Amino acid sequence: MSPKPVLFLFFFAVPFTSSKIAGTQQDPPKVAPKPIDQPLAVTAELSATSAPECSSSQAFLLHFHYSGDKPLRGYLIRLLASNSANHAPLEQTFHEIRDSRDQMIVPGADWTRTACSSISLAPSQSVTTIVDFLKFPDGSAWGPMHLPESHELSGVMDGQDFSVKTTDLERYVSPLSRETTPIPEEHLQFQTIGPLRFLSGIYHDPKGKECLAVEATNAGDAPIRAFVFTESFFDSATGARVRRVATKKLETHGNSTHYLFPGGTWLCDTRKFSYSSDGSLAKYTITLDFVVFADGTTYGPKQSRESDEVVGMLRGIDGQYIAGPDARRMP
């Protein structure tokens, strides 16, 4: 049976029960203007009839037109309700994706989706639609991607692909083999952060250039499925940060026998060293942002967009998404 498109709807306590909903294509104040070549247009209106999928919630209709020049695989839009009390706009998001083996949204397509909300909107208020993220079958993306949900949604589609084909991204996020991966050789540093113990140091590439090599060992007592850490380089003279690089590592096929077990080590990608203003090697720090254990529990502040992407990848690998009631209606 062909995989079905998948709908998602995230709510942020947004009111949508008015006699009329005005859909616009303009950002709220203090948000940068959209590019003029936005390929997805969206308007919103109150549904004249009740929608079974909304139960007791109010239903409204989202009307889409896609004018891009290549097929569209997924999207996320923001719905902002103005607040008459001059408070910050209330917001919810709506998004939809296709499995890579399914039919894509074709250029020129028009379609309608139903969204639900249970909080009232005053008659004088309106709804603004903002496209935050589009993703295409070739892996490219469009949009500001201001929301963590957009990064997670991108990760979901990447995770779906891991079971279908070997992608460059899968090679990039998979643990590396000790037989083929450089290991730290000089100026070794040991650091334990939460459940991971990091060994880092200098490795010289075939051209003699200094690179930062890192390996991570599970120092805890529970298997680890994925982690994200950042390497930040600082000018030795001024202390200013020169560069930040995030590393994502995870088991990409849901095979629990390949998780990082206690005492096990995963090797990570080498990074070219940055240099200070005086020409010396920059100083660096390693910060652990996020860890996902085999049982689904997590560790870390989860502050980076890369961590949002990893959450999505794991959902895509596991198939942890729910098809909405409109999943069979292809534009």
In this prediction, residue 322 carries a pLDDT of 38
- For the record, the structure tokens of 292 come out as 């996902």
Q: Which amino acid is at 322?
A: I
pTM exceeding 0.95: no
Provide CATH code, domain 171-316.
Answer: 2.60.40
Residue 203 scores a pLDDT above 80:
yes
Average pLDDT, the chain: 84
CATH 2.60.40, the chain: domain bounds: 6-146, 171-316
> What is d(CA 127, CA 144) in angstroms, rounded to the nearest whole number?
19
pLDDT of res. 227: 98
Mean pLDDT calculated for residue range 140-144: 96
142: β partners: 134
Q: What is residue 251's DSSP assignment?
A: -
Sheet holding 298-299, edge to edge: 241-250, 224-234, 283-293, 298-299
Q: Name the more confident of 214 and 57.
A: 214
Confidence band, pLDDT 50/70/90 cuts, at residue 320: low
Give yes or no for residue 11 having a pLDDT over 80: no
Q: Tens of pLDDT along 39-48?
A: 999 998 877 7
What pLDDT, on the 0 to 100 scale, is given for residue 19?
27
Give strand ranges (E) for the chain.
6-10, 23-24, 40-46, 58-66, 74-81, 90-97, 110-117, 127-135, 141-142, 186-193, 196-204, 210-218, 224-234, 241-250, 265-267, 271-272, 283-293, 298-299
Whole-number pLDDT of residue 13: 35
CATH code of the region 6-146: 2.60.40
Q: Residues near 20 by Cβ (< 8 Å), separated by ≥ 6? A: 45, 46, 123
- Which tens digits make up the pLDDT trace of 267-296? 999 999 999 999 999 999 999 999 999 999
